[in-house]
Structure 1
Amino acid sequence: MIELRHLRYFIAVAEDLNFRRAAERVHIDQTPLSRTVRDLEDQLGVQLFVRAPRKLHLTPAGLRLLQDARKIFIRIERTYRAVRETDARFRAPLRIGVADGIAQPKLSECMVRWREVAPEIPLELTEMRASELADALQREELDAGFSFGLPDDEALAQQPAWSYPVMALLPIGHELAGQSVLPIADVLAFPLLSCHAERQPGLLRQMQVIVDRYTSTPTLSGEACT
């Protein structure tokens, strides 16, 4: 079976056209080097060198093998480099951006699960606004992010991570407060407190989609500061 050492020794001899210099180059004695080249010729069934007194030439088959053998080692080196780079990437921290004030149990569960799956890879969590999250993802300063949704952008892929039921926050004593399930139409009959447009744009868009199904003119009493 042809091994990499056969090709490595062959390249040394083919480039130096001298067994003594080639042996020094690959740090072995001349005899085992010559024997390895002969073994390569036997396995291929061709003559790679024309051996004349004080002179060594490559045959056409030897020239072809030299070209292909060099390409093989170039590809091997590229593979080594790609594997090392991949390993380095997987050892780098996983950079996560968190926007829209998401600090929920589900996010904590995701972090715990990640520690179980890849304990050797650290996590870096950064809180930011949704607009900053989108910019950081496009600049590849983050690997992923969590928000209530970003504006549609071909450069970003958005996938649902989890969902929660819509909850109504009502003052104590409100006429709807005693009900376990509230029709959204009943809630919209009262003034609403809106999400902050800059701090929680994704959540605001989701709520607008729900509200628009029932009314085009909701009554807003104000905007939350956080």
Structure 2
Amino acid sequence: MELRHLRYFIAVAEELHFSRAAERLNIEQSPLSRTIKQLETELEATLLERTSRGTRLTWAGEVFLEDARRTLLCIDQAKANVKAAATGFRGTLRIALSDGIARSRLTPLLALCREEEPDVEIRLFEIPLAQHQRGLRHDLYDAGFAFSNDVDDGLIAEVAWKEPLVIAIPKRHPLLAHKHVPLDEVVKHPLVLCHPEFCEGCSRQLESLLASIDSPITVAERVSTHDLMLTLVAAGYGIGFSSAARIESSHHTDIIIRPLAGHSHVMTTYLLRPDTEPSDQLNNFMQRVARIGL
């Protein structure tokens, strides 16, 4: 089995279409089909079912897809580690990011790491929360940041920092009559919320907040990124939730920030890591996270 076999299989598994996968790989379809057949013969398992209605993964194919992705990631990380060592780095921390973590805290954290431990390379990986947790369990990442503390067995979620939750309102909106907007007034208007598939932890925190109001809500749109949420709010689609720092860093002049009324509402960012004794490098990183989070 060669690495190209894994790359070919991943392309077909993601496209679920041999012609599109061949185009993506810049090869002809017939050698791609032969390679997949050879792979299935070697593994003694059917990975893909081909029918008149299309192509789909078998259960064996789904399992192999996850392992194939992890194998290629390990190879890429091994190459990066050698390159980092050759350029003078003495260690590497692999940090996963999920849920669109705010750059307002991440930027000073990375700057502090470069200042205090310049010979440790920090590599960042933006991935969905489920992949994030699998990677921590399989030693693909050393730690990560997410908005969720609902973690798998063998992992720890610790509070990294908290930021006040505010609402994003388009200009000339009736809610601007409030200096501090009651949540029960917010939910009378259409909302632009993060999509749970792309921002799982953020979605969970907002759902918990909205569940505290005994009122039906209208969701105008569910979005995959913070920037798209702000764009739709600015266009008048609805009201959004965020932190003041994230909105201000986006420079949307057509959006007004208002705090929520009542007791303080916050969005919590968690540091996720394996439930094992951290390395010296990771322990130093965690201490810097604590300083940034103050």
TM-score range, shorter chain: 0.5 to 0.7
Say yes or no: does 1:121 pair with 2:120.
yes
Report the 3-state secondary structure (helix = DSSP H, G, I; strand = E; otherwise coil) of the residue aligned with 1:154: coil
Give the structure 1 partner of residue 204 of structure 2.
Answer: 205
- Maintained 8 Å contact 1:134/1:150: no
SS in 1 for 2:184: helix
Secondary structure class of the residue paired with 1:102: coil
Residue 182 of structure 2 aligns with an amino acid whose one-letter code is: P
CA displacement 1:118-147 (0-9 Å, x = unmatched): 222111111111111111111111000011
Tell me the residue number matched to 1:149.
148
Contact 1:195 1:203 in 2 (8 A): yes
Which residue in the other structure is 1:135 paired with? 134
In structure 2, do the counterparts of structure 1 residues 105 and 92 end up closer, same or farther at CA, with 3 Å as the change threshold?
same
Aligned residue in 2 for 1:9: none
Between Structure 1 and Structure 2, how many residues are aligned? Answer: 138
Structure 1 consecutive aligned stretches of length 4 or more whose deviation exceeds 3 Å? none
Report what 1:161 is aligned to: 160
**RMSD of the alignment, in Å?**
2.0
What is the deviation of 1:216? 5.9
Partners of 2:142 and 2:160 in 1: how far apart? 15
Matches within 5 A, 1:89-108: 91-108=90-107
Aligned positions of 1:160-179 closer than 5 A:
160-179=159-178
SS of the aligned residue for 1:163 comes to strand
Distance 1:158 1:216, change over 3 A: farther
String of CA shifts for 1:181-210, please: whole Å, max 9, x gaps: 211121112121221111101000000111
Instruction: Output the amino acid matched with 2:119.
Output: E
**Any stretches of 5+ residues in structure 1 without a counterpart?**
1-87
Q: Distance in 2 between matches of 1:174 and 1:217?
A: 20
**Are 1:96 and 1:145, in contact at CA under 8 Å, matched by a contact in 2?**
yes
Q: Is the 8 A contact 2:95 2:143 kept in 1?
A: yes
Question: Is the 1:96–1:144 contact (alpha carbons within 8 Å) kept by the matching residues of 2?
Answer: yes
Residue 154 (structure 1) shift: 2.2
Deviation at 1:157, TM superposition (A): 0.4
Question: In the alignment, which residue of structure 2 is the partner of 1:192?
Answer: 191
Q: Comparing 176-185 with 100-109, which one deviates more in the overlay?
A: 176-185
2:192 and 2:104 map into 1 onto residues whose CA distance is 24
Q: Specify whether residues 145 and 221 from structure 1 end up closer, same or farther in structure 2 by C-alpha distance, changes over 3 A only.
A: same
Deviations, residues 24-80 of structure 1 (Å, cap 9, x unaligned): xxxxxxxxxxxxxxxxxxxxxxxxxxxxxxxxxxxxxxxxxxxxxxxxxxxxxxxxx
Choose between structure 1 and 2: higher strand proportion: 2
Indicate if the aligned counterparts of 2:98 and 2:146 stay in contact, CA closer than 8 A: yes
Aligned partner letter, 2:196: A
TM-score (norm 1): 0.56
Query: In 1, are the aligned partners of 2:187 and 2:215 still within 8 Å (CA)?
Result: no
Q: Structure 2 counterpart of 1:208, which letter?
A: E
Distance 1:95 1:225, change over 3 A: closer
Query: Larger Rg: 1 or 2?
Result: 1
Output the CA distance in 1 between the equivalents of 2:119 and 2:143: 18
CA shift, 1:94, in A, is 0.7
Shift of 1:149: 1.3
Amino acid at match of 1:136: G
Tell me if structure 2 keeps the 8 A contact 1:130–1:150.
no
Structure 2 Cα separation of the partners of residues 96 and 181 of structure 1: 36
What are the equivalent positions in structure 2 for 1:10-159 lying under 5 Å apart? 91-149=90-148, 151-159=150-158
Q: Which amino acid aligns with 1:153?
A: D
| 2:124 aligned counterpart, secondary structure | strand
Per-residue deviation at 1:92?
Answer: 2.3
SS in structure 2 at match of 1:177: helix
1:133 partner letter:
H
Identity of aligned residues (%): 31
Q: 8 Å contact 2:136–2:143 — kept in the other structure?
A: yes
- Structure of greater relative contact order (alpha carbons < 8 Å, 6+ residues apart): 2
User: Match of 2:154, as an amino acid?
Assistant: A
Residue in 2 that maps onto 1:220: 219
3-state SS in 1 of match to 2:134: helix
